[in-house]
């Protein structure tokens, strides 16, 4: 068989280029691109976002809420866009948001935030590696200066280190402003490491810009302990009366189920101990132009519950690695920018606000799904809203 390359042009981001590729693919595959080729965004706006552009995949967007959020950055009522093809999802999140809001709202805190790149250095023996570690600590200010020459937003805060045999594994931890920052951190760390390779008093026998301990776009226990992205903590006290009226359950019933499902999650080795954080995060990420692969890191976390002295339900969600941005990536694309504007999260200074909305959304969705399971409405709700008939 002869390889037939995809058409490319001097300017690949024109309507003519996109149409040529659609015509080519129709001839090669027999597929029709009537809907894929129908869109409102200008192709020239997609530079740095995709290659070989042919059109769009239209994803339905529903709106959940409103939800009352008491964050340090997100304050007030929010209507939350969720891009999903799963029936019942938006309705379920809306119900959870109503329960949370009628109980006084959800308090959300961003406890810390870092983005990493994790170089590996190897030496002749363990003692040389240990001497290098001491030298690197003494020269941290120089390493920091070299890294920050490459970016106006990224700041190298600290470097974690682990020595294994004659190797040194590191994690360079940055703050990245309103960007998610993976590429920013890669460029900054590359510059810093070039300085290290040139100035280290110890001979470095092997170097790699990534030793894989940053676990980029992979879940890891490391990120539960040392935040990658933003560590988001959402808390709400759900009133007994609200649970009985809107969810047909009680604080004690939810707490009892939580105690038992925690063991099931441990047996399964789940990355998240609550019902379904990835659902809300994925839908919100797609709607707002986030890198969808970051869901694998962002969804991990812990749920904690308690019964208050008044007999209400304290419910909290801790997400230690929410990777989200309000600048860069897909956040400037046409429909994604509209969804960010709906949240008041477009532009500079809004990344923490978006992270707080993510935390509130996850808590509301978990509360709703738990309630549906306990009221034996999980299957019936999907039958009513989620089946293609």
* Active centre residues (catalytic): 86, 291, 382
> SS3 helix, strand, coil % of the chain, rounded to 5?
40, 20, 35
Report helix, strand or coil for 5: coil
Residues 6+ apart with CB under 8 A from 192: 143, 144, 146, 147, 156, 172
Could you check whether the bond before residue 66 is cis, i.e. omega within 30 degrees of 0?
Answer: yes
The DSSP code sequence of 56-112 is -----EEEEEEEEEEESS-EEEEEEEEE---TTHHHHHHHHHHHHHHTT-EEEEEEE
Among 210, 181, 187, smallest CA distance to 322 is for 181
Cα 145 from Cα 351, distance rounded (Å)? 25
Report helix, strand or coil for 321: strand
Query: Is residue 232 within 8 Å of residue 110, measured between CB atoms?
Result: yes
Query: Is residue 237 within 8 Å of residue 245, measured between CB atoms?
Result: no
Cα 331 from Cα 63, distance rounded (Å)? 18
Query: Is residue 286 within 8 Å of residue 314, measured between CB atoms?
Result: no
Report helix, strand or coil for 369: helix
């Amino acid at each position: 068989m002869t390889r037939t390359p995809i058409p490319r042009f001097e300017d690949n981001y024109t309507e003519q280029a996109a149409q040529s590729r659609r015509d080519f693919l129709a001839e090669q595959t027999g597929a029709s691109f009537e809907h894929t080729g129908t869109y409102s965004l200008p192709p020239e706006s997609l530079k740095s976002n995709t290659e070989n552009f042919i059109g769009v995949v239209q994803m339905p967007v529903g709106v959940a809420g409103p939800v009352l959020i008491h964050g340090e950055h997100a304050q007030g009522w929010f209507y939350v866009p969720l891009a999903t093809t799963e029936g019942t999802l938006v309705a379920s999140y809306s119900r959870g948001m109503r329960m949370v809001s009628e109980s006084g709202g959800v308090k959300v805190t961003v406890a810390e935030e870092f983005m990493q790149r994790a170089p590996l250095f190897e030496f002749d023996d363990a003692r040389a590696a240990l001497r290098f570690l001491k030298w690197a600590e003494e020269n941290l200010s120089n390493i920091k200066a070299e890294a920050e020459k490459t970016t106006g937003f990224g700041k190298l805060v600290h470097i974690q280190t682990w020595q294994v045999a004659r190797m040194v594994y590191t994690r360079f931890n940055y703050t990245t402003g309103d960007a998610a920052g993976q590429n920013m951190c890669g460029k900054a760390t590359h510059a810093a490491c070039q300085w290290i390779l040139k100035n280290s008093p110890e001979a470095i026998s092997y170097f790699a810009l990534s030793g894989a301990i940053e676990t980029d776009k992979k879940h890891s226990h490391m990120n539960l302990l040392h935040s990658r992205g933003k560590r988001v903590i959402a808390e709400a006290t759900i009133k007994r009366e609200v649970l009985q009226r809107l969810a047909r359950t009680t604080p004690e019933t939810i707490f009892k189920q939580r105690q038992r499902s925690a063991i099931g999650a441990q047996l399964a080795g789940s990355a998240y101990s609550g019902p379904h954080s990835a659902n809300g995060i994925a839908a919100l990420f797609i709607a707002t132009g986030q890198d969808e692969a970051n869901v694998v890191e962002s969804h991990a976390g812990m749920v904690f519950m308690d019964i208050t002295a008044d007999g209400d339900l304290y419910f909290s969600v801790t997400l230690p690695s929410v990777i989200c941005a309000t600048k860069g990536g897909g956040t400037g694309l046409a429909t994604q920018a509209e969804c960010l504007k709906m949240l008041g999260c477009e532009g500079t200074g809004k990344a923490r606000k978006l992270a707080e909305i993510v935390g509130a959304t996850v808590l509301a969705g978990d509360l709703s799904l738990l309630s549906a399971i306990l009221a034996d409405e999980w299957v019936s709700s999907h039958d009513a809203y989620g089946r293609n008939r």
